[in-house]
Amino acid sequence: MPQAWHLVKRPNGMPAAGDVELREVSLPPLEDGYVRVRNRWLSVDPYMRGRMNDVKSYVPAFRLGEPMEGGAIGEVVESRDPSLAPGDTVLHMMGWRDKAVLPGPAVNKLPTLPGIAPQAFLANLGLTGGTAYFGLLDAAQAREGDIVFVSAAAGAVGSAVVQIAKAKGMTVIGSAGGADKCAFVRSLGADAVIDYKGGTPLVKALSEVAPKGIDVYFDNVGGDHLDAALALARKDARFAICGMIEGYNSGAPTQLRYIMRVIAMRIMLKGFIYTDYLPRNAEFYAEMGPWVATGRVKGRDTVVEGLEKTPEAFMGLFSGANTGKMLVKL
């Protein structure tokens, strides 16, 4: 019997195991234009925490008592859509479950590319890589010669930002937590790495590795990282605000000591969402595809096995359990 994770309680603070429940589900009969898919890989992402709240946002909230959703890679096992055949590998948004029935237009058939595993389309060739690419190059308008500061640089988005920035001729400073993650960020080519768990206040740590300041900040964290970036921003600095994971569970307002520098230094802060750029995905694939295929942009996945472990993988995102992309393998 197919199974799916359902949201049964809206979290108060950090998500807990009791907020979700794995239930059997009945799939509808296969109608014309539909496909039946067996999922192979599931993506868990920080933005899903926001969907657990009953608030209006850029994506609808998960409904209580209903299956949750997210990115997934699966195999077509039965098709009544002439454009899709059994055995095709597809990308879709019916994650958090092992099987799904979807209309053909709701799935994207993935190409078979030498040197590229299908799960890369959930990572460097998917949401996280696209977020990094367009956030850095469009939202932040980063260009050759810029000094770029990246928070959560060992994460899925941050690690891609580091490598794209280096490929484009920028100086990169990454922040990560702990010796292993810092070593990983250095291996990606970062010019300097800050261990935010090392005990040195972030403003001081950033000033030591960027004595001339920064031109670009790619924000995945918010809080103290954002404040440090404001403190070291040069005139006309550009900030791409991708995420603020530091505050996703606490609900406490962000306090910024250096926010007034936005005026004096003419800092541009721009929030953005990856889906804003979907019409430009061909541009993304044309440049990122060869980088991934040749190893110029590398990925590291943290893989948890089994549908039953999906909540564990998701909650691990908020405790630093992942290096690179967090995936669930079925």
Torsion of CA 78, 84, 90, 94, to 10 degrees: -60
Return the pLDDT at 248. 72
Tell whether 21 is covered by a domain.
yes
Angle at which helix 223-232 crosses helix 202-209, to 10 degrees, equals: 40
Cα distance between residue 325 and residue 70, in whole Å:
14
Partners of 269 in beta bridges:
239
β pairing state of 99-103 and 72-79? unpaired
Tell whether 234 is covered by a domain.
yes
Tell whether 292 is covered by a domain.
no
Our count of domains for the chain comes to 2
Return the pLDDT at 115. 82
Ranges in the chain, pLDDT < 70: 247, 250-251
Tokens of residue 76, six digits: 């077509």
Tell whether 278 is covered by a domain.
no
Return the pLDDT at 58. 85
Tell whether 55 is covered by a domain.
yes
Q: Assess whether 154 and 234 both reside in one domain.
A: yes
241: CATH: 3.40.50.720
β pairing state of 34-43 and 72-79? antiparallel
Tell whether 210 is covered by a domain.
yes
Return the pLDDT at 252. 73
Give me the domain span that covers residue 191: 127-273
Return the pLDDT at 137. 98
Angle at which helix 127-134 crosses helix 281-294, to 10 degrees, equals: 110
Tokens of residue 171, six digits: 């100086």
Q: Assess whether 67 and 161 both reside in one domain.
A: no
Partners of 173 in beta bridges:
149, 192
Tell whether 291 is covered by a domain.
no
106: CATH: 3.90.180.10
Output phi, psi for 213, to 5 deg.
95, -175
Return the pLDDT at 111. 86
Return the pLDDT at 303. 98
